[in-house]
Structure 1
């Protein structure tokens, strides 16, 4: 018998997601070829679209893993269509992360797929569902940085290199922040099934404020320095140097004056 969870329409890729991918492809081409009058505008649109695509894939990974773990209600909720408008909190998963990228160049973790945990048996399955999202960011970062750690940058335009470097920065920050064992973040979701019932009940009221607490702590200068030193170390290990990362963010924020070190030839 066909149920709502297994209708083909529940798994068909949304035109909304296809449109976002199309914007990413067109602006990526414009960044590569230098077609745009302002390279910074092309970088801005390309990175923003690619960032939204990664957010959709992040939530899709949670949903798909939950489906295979036993929550067959996922399909009816529309999470398998990659449509960001289907998320429980589109503001938290899409709008705020984009605003944070524009304002500060940091990958804000999202989290807006409602999973019926009662349908899922086994602590490992629960942990894997939580880990699937940030692991998608890790994979995205590896793909973005492949030309750098493979030393295959010959022929890759500077603007495109800088765009990939900044996009990788967003993926790495999102992955690290998401993996923090803080209530409300995926890292806590990974360890939560292994905690005692009493501990989980005590921690549960703090979950809505976990992300806010993380950003409040990041405002502490010493913590902020350690955090971004860690980001720089990871990016360095992936072949991206400070100049590439800096120029990527500089081009992305095209409405500001472009640093002379980050000019790209047309």
Structure 2
């Protein structure tokens, strides 16, 4: 087994991640009980901490799948400890995604773990490694929306319900954006192994700008004063959330609470 070549310390959960989990739990409790005098502060800390937890799990899924596919180097790099400080680009992986949430309520992905693709054989394995991250966001969205589609909201405080709705919105946007077949995003990583070498060479120079392109399109002004890519994108996101039992009103209230200022 490939995991036999990684030491126990390489796979031990980081105290940093455990600390983030603790913040999520405490602020989630404060949001639920109304303990904080300013509910927006508790919601902000709860959603931000939970969002960072999901980012860590996203990158862990990439690394763990790579490990079982043949890249045993991920253990020595610290990727299996869930420590966000071990990522290749902490700024892209944690700071920018949090800023995107604050600025526009969008769960934009970030680049993080470096996989040594030369150690991996088989196109399906390469595709699965890329898909593992956004699939984690899908699972996270299912968990966040479970009380809604299970009709189990009786007794759930409104602030906590709104916070869950907004967190679910972030996970759905992260999954959709990650699966876009844009160079530099996971969606392109899924299809890249199946492309010809010629196409790969032509696309490679644009990979560093893929995330910036997505960001620019989402914040672009309306075309002819009517059609907006941002508006169309969020219409799709809210349609998905409605299918999961979450109304636009609930997620919007969550975003309003998240930004108490």
Secondary structure of residue in 1 paired with 2:73: coil
Q: Could you tell me how far 1:178 is from its partner in structure 2?
A: 0.5
Q: Which position in structure 2 is the counterpart of 1:87?
A: 87
Q: Aligned equivalents of 1:197 and 1:188: distance in 2?
A: 14
Q: Which position in structure 2 is the counterpart of 1:204?
A: 204
Q: Aligned equivalents of 2:107 and 2:153: distance in 1?
A: 25
Q: Aligned equivalents of 1:102 and 1:51: distance in 2?
A: 11
Contact kept in structure 2, 1:5 and 1:74, CA below 8 Å: no
Q: Aligned equivalents of 1:39 and 1:135: distance in 2?
A: 31
Runs of 4+ in structure 1 off by over 6 angstroms are: none
Secondary structure of residue in 1 paired with 2:111: coil
Q: Within 5 A, what are the aligned runs for 1:13-28?
A: 13-28=13-28
> Does structure 1 residue 134 correspond to structure 2 residue 134?
yes
In structure 2, the CA distance between the partners of 1:4 and 1:146, relative to structure 1 (3 Å rule), is closer
Q: Could you tell me how far 1:5 is from its partner in structure 2?
A: 4.7
Spell out, residue by residue over 1:4-44, the C-alpha distance to the aligned partner (whole angstroms, 9 max, x if none). Answer: 95111100000000000000000000000111111111100
Q: Could you tell me how far 1:219 is from its partner in structure 2?
A: 2.7
> What is the TM-score when the length of structure 1 is the normalising length?
0.93
Q: Which position in structure 1 is the counterpart of 2:148?
A: 148
Q: Which position in structure 2 is the counterpart of 1:101?
A: 101
Secondary structure of residue in 2 paired with 1:74: helix
What is the root-mean-square deviation of aligned Cα atoms in Å? 1.3
Q: Within 5 A, what are the aligned runs for 1:184-203?
A: 184-203=184-203
Q: Which position in structure 1 is the counterpart of 2:236?
A: 230
Spell out, residue by residue over 1:30-77, the C-alpha distance to the aligned partner (whole angstroms, 9 max, x if none). Answer: 000111111111100000000000000000000000000000111000
Q: Which position in structure 2 is the counterpart of 1:55?
A: 55
> Does structure 1 residue 218 correspond to structure 2 residue 224?
no
Contact kept in structure 2, 1:149 and 1:238, CA below 8 Å: yes
Q: Aligned equivalents of 2:76 and 2:124: distance in 1?
A: 24
Q: Which position in structure 2 is the counterpart of 1:67?
A: 67
Unaligned regions of 5+ residues in structure 2, if any?
223-227
Q: Could you tell me how far 1:224 is from its partner in structure 2?
A: 1.5
Q: Which position in structure 1 is the counterpart of 2:225?
A: none
Q: Could you tell me how far 1:242 is from its partner in structure 2?
A: 1.3
Q: Which position in structure 2 is the counterpart of 1:242?
A: 248
Q: Could you tell me how far 1:110 is from its partner in structure 2?
A: 1.2
Q: Aligned equivalents of 1:80 and 1:74: distance in 2?
A: 7
Contact kept in structure 2, 1:4 and 1:75, CA below 8 Å: no
Q: Aligned equivalents of 1:110 and 1:207: distance in 2?
A: 13
In structure 2, the CA distance between the partners of 1:4 and 1:147, relative to structure 1 (3 Å rule), is closer
Secondary structure of residue in 2 paired with 1:36: coil
Spell out, residue by residue over 1:64-104, the C-alpha distance to the aligned partner (whole angstroms, 9 max, x if none). Answer: 00000000111000000000000000000001011111111
Q: Aligned equivalents of 1:126 and 1:152: distance in 2?
A: 39
Q: Aligned equivalents of 1:219 and 1:42: distance in 2?
A: 28
- The count of aligned residue pairs is 254
Q: Aligned equivalents of 2:215 and 2:83: distance in 1?
A: 28
Q: Aligned equivalents of 1:90 and 1:50: distance in 2?
A: 17
Q: Aligned equivalents of 1:226 and 1:103: distance in 2?
A: 18
